[in-house]
């Protein structure tokens, strides 16, 4: 999920065409939350910086619905990325088995990272 429609579409196309994955994409956190179903998704990709509800807030809500769901956070913000890297152990202890990708990312690197998580 990314609030930028073109980025969202690009990630969807990359994953569906290269790995035959089924991808549901949303540009709005509230709509994504409304459509989230426990046990249905192998992985949820969340942009950190979004209007209305940020990725961490959305993560908290969906983890109440499905505590076992894997989440991968996306961001173009160097500040979020560096903060995450410095506190990775602490964040992973809180979030469990969740991951972080800094945008921009090359297509093949993105695919490899997602497939390793799944």
pLDDT of res. 12 = 92
Percentage of the chain lying above the pLDDT 70 cut: 80
How confident is the model over 98-104, as a mean pLDDT? 79
How confident is the model over 10-32, as a mean pLDDT? 90
Q: How many CB atoms lie within 10 A of CB 25?
A: 18
State pLDDT tens for residues 37-92.
999 999 999 988 888 888 888 988 999 999 999 999 887 765 555 555 554 555 55
- Picking from 39, 62, 43, 57, the residue whose alpha carbon sits closest to that of residue 101 is 43
d(CA 94, CA 92): 5
d(CA 15, CA 41): 14
Mean pLDDT of the chain: 82
Residue 23: pLDDT band with limits 50, 70, 90: very high
Evaluate if pTM is beyond 0.85.
no
d(CA 65, CA 40): 11
Work out how many domains the chain is built from and give that number: 1
Q: What CATH number is attached to the domain comprising 72? A: 3.40.50.2300
Rg over alpha carbons for the chain, rounded to the nearest Å, is: 13
DSSP string covering 14-39: HHHHHH-------S-HHHHHHH--TT
Q: Which domain holds residue 77?
A: 5-117
């Amino acid at each position: 999920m990314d609030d930028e429609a073109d980025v969202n579409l690009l990630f969807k196309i990359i994953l569906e065409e290269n790995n035959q994955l089924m991808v549901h994409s949303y540009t709005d956190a509230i709509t994504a939350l409304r459509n989230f179903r426990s046990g249905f998704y192998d992985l949820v990709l969340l942009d950190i910086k979004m209007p209305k509800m940020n990725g961490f807030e959305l993560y908290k809500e969906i983890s109440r619905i499905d505590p076992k769901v894997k989440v991968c956070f996306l961001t173009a913000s160097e500040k979020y990325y560096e903060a995450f890297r410095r506190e990775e152990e602490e964040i992973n202890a809180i979030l469990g088995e969740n991951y972080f990708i800094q945008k921009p990312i090359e297509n093949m690197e993105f695919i490899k990272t997602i497939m390793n998580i799944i």
